[in-house]
């Protein structure tokens, strides 16, 4: 069992930055690939980024490439999402998830409650 708690969301202006954190409980954090997803109002949840169990491999969806960076610190049981050059269309609730490497929600077994990110124009 893994419990995930996101933090770091908030209100930021267009072009600003935020760094999301996701703290995991348990001693098996390093056994899971970790992903970030987001869900905007009225839209389906969408994949944002994934990092492998060791953190050596990452993948970002096209819409955030060059602006967002996923990383993890297995010693701290934490995964991060650094978000730069934020745009209003990045406004969403951001979720972290633990599971196997993939871009689909079904690839992940454990989910956090989410943190709100709002980008004002």
- pLDDT tens column, 59-113: 999 999 999 999 999 999 999 999 999 999 999 999 999 999 999 999 999 999 9
Pairing state of beta strands 10-13 and 115-120?
parallel
pLDDT over threshold 90, residue 24: yes
Task: Let me know: does 76 contact 88? Beta carbons within 8 Å.
Answer: no
Cβ-Cβ contacts under 8 Å for 59 (sequence gap 6 or more): 49, 50, 103
């Amino acid at each position: 069992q893994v419990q995930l708690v996101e933090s770091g969301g908030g209100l930021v202006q267009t072009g600003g930055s935020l760094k999301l954190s996701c703290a995991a409980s348990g001693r098996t954090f390093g056994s899971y690939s970790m992903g970030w997803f987001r869900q905007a109002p009225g839209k389906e949840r969408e994949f944002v980024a994934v990092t492998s169990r060791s953190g050596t491999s990452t993948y970002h969806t096209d819409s955030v490439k060059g602006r967002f960076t996923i990383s993890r610190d297995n010693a701290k049981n934490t995964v991060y999402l650094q978000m730069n050059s934020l745009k209003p269309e990045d406004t969403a609730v951001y979720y972290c998830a633990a599971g196997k490497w993939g871009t689909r929600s079904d690839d992940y077994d454990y989910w956090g409650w989410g943190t709100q990110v709002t980008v004002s124009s």
